[in-house]
Amino acid sequence: MTSSKKLSRICVLLLSLVSSFAFPSNAGAQPVIAGRFTLTSPAKWGTVMLPAGDYTFAVEDSVSPPPVTIFTADGTGKGIVIPAFVSEIKRDDTGRMTLEIRDGQAVVTALYVERLGVVLHYGAERPNVELARKKAAPDSKMTSYLQAK
């Protein structure tokens, strides 16, 4: 392949990459799922404090992790929350929201999004994950040096 053909292919790839960021499609910005919930007492969801009342939410899938936009019942925006981490939904899980009481305050800890097949976790520590590491072999030169001493 000649260098001019390589250059033209690179230019086409760069232009398509730039256009995907500069001119996002409207379909990609549509919420994947929307839902409703009612809080009987104030609750904290991520960094957003929600008073008791009726709410709707929309989950976007255009970025990872998917942000959730929260609206009051009258349609005004309340806030956007980003999950701390995302896990796969298990077969027996259903679309729901999990609230826990922490330090006397209700806190949203998880949102199960069936259509995406994920659980969005908030305000929770990531589960313990252990990394497998290769066992370091002793340096043979150092071992022989130490034995000689």
* Residue 70 and residue 48 in contact, taking contact as beta carbons nearer than 8 Å: yes
Q: What is the pTM of this model?
A: 0.61
Q: Is the peptide bond before 65 cis (omega within 30 degrees of 0)?
A: yes
Q: pLDDT tens for residues 38-76?
A: 999 999 998 899 999 999 999 988 788 899 999 998 888
Please tell me the predicted confidence (pLDDT) of residue 145. Answer: 56
84-106 pLDDT, tens digit each: 999 888 877 677 889 999 888 99
CB 115 within 8 A of CB 33: yes
pLDDT at 26: 45
Q: Is the model's pLDDT at 24 over the cut of 70?
A: no
Predicted pLDDT of residue 17: 44
